[in-house]
Structure 1
Amino acid sequence: MSATRPDAVVLYGPPAAGKDTVTAALTAVDGRYVHFDRLKAGSGKSIGYRHTSAGDLAQLHDRHLIVYANERYGNIYAIDSPRLDEIITAGQIPVVHLGQIAGITALRTGYPARWLTVLLWCPRNITRARLHERGSSDPEERLRVWDETQADLAAAAPGTFTMVLRTDQRTPAAAADLIHQTLTGAPEHLPPVRDRLP
């Protein structure tokens, strides 16, 4: 990819893998990192999303402004190019959370950025414990999504991820430091970070 393309980050992983905490750690490392607040049509959690309607999403899709959309937990989530443009134009680095390989493909082919793709992973029992600790109202549904993410990951093509980080073995700050070093350093001089998956 061209070095003149803006930087952007994808954090891919199952529920409770640490996408929010690693994003918070990234913003502490460098204020240019900003969580990409996806569009959301539906109910439930509102923090970290821009709420909209299914009709408005359809209109954006018709105008070719939706880079990727998916349905989960009875809601529709979407990544729109105007918001990506807004973040990048402000000199910031969008950090996009995903749980689908198709989303990574859509971003790489549908939005001109230098995408650093990071797999954040933790074992299923760790996910269960984390869901319990944070008082999740639908832990079984989240664990079902963990299973779906594992199956989705099995179909990933070689080279899908720039980095693979186990969040049960690294602190959020350590993971953020590695991501930042990889994004801002010379990739040819940095050894690839590939934690072993369970």
Structure 2
Amino acid sequence: MDKHGFLYVCNREFHEVRRWKMGEYNNEGIVVAGGNGQGDQLNQLKNPTFIFVDEDQSVYVSDQINRRVMKWRKDAKEGTIVAEGNRQGENLNQLSEFTGVIVDDLGQIYVADFENDRIMRLCEGKEEGEIVAGGNRRGDRPFELNGPTDLSFDDEGNLYVVDFRNQRIQKFETTL
């Protein structure tokens, strides 16, 4: 949900993200990302899983099967690729089944890299990201993750990670 009272929902079956105004009923909402069938073109998504909406109502979509994060500016007909997984792997320019996505106030993109058990920070236009949490090895110690799926920031910039296979929420202090 954004600060203007709009609710955003990923529809994986139709490969789209729709937006509704809270309090308005009996409408279908409007497509704000994808909605042109499944695919890898800039106006398409393939299995969108997680979304983040910034202050300008730009929608960031974790486009899981295409292994990319797409940014759809408000009222755009197509998105731009802001992060790519390249070939599946564990190098700093690769992601493996990424899920959750969030963007900080500086425009840095944070992605939950599920199979690599890490959180990556990516900057639009840069070829490599950096590991900000996990990535040591799969585990259950305080500095390890096991299948992170989603993430969020608090007002002080701390990063909270849903550590799925460990059935816990991990808190990491970050510098924004």
TM normalised by structure 1 equals 0.26
Q: Which has the higher strand share?
A: 2
Q: Which has the higher helix share?
A: 1
TM normalised by structure 2 equals 0.28
